[in-house]
Structure 1
Amino acid sequence: MAQSEQTAETLRSKTLLTQFFADTGECCPPQSTSNPSKPNVPHPVSAPTGYEYKGKYESVGEYDKVYVTGPDEAKHALVVIYDIFGFWQGSDLLASHLLDTSPTRIYMPDVFRGKPFPKDQDGDKDELKKFFAGTAKLEHRLPEVLDFAKTLKKDHGVNRVSILGYCWGGKLAFLSLASGTPFCCGAVIHPAMIAPEDGENLTVPFGFYPSMDEPKNVVEKIQKDIEGKPFAGKSDYHLYDTVHHGWAAARADLSDPENLKQYEDVYRRTAGYFAKVKC
Structure 2
Amino acid sequence: MIMTDINWTHWSDLAVQAGINIVSAIVLWVVGRWFIGLAGRLMEEQLVARKLDPTLRRYAHSFLSVSLTVVLVIAMLGFFGVQTASFAAIIGAAGVAIGLAWSGLLANFAAGIFLVVLRPFKVGDVVSVAGISGTVREVGLFSTIIDTPDNVMTLIGNNKIFSDNIQNFSANGYRRVDLKTQLAASADHVLAIQLLRDKIAAIPNVLAEPAITVDLLEFSPLGPVLAVRPCCQPAHYWQVYFDSNRLIRETLAAADFPAPEQAMVVRQG
Q: TM over 0.5, yes or no?
A: no
TM-score range relative to shorter protein: under 0.3
Q: Give the TM-score, by structure 2 length.
A: 0.19
TM-score by length of 1: 0.19
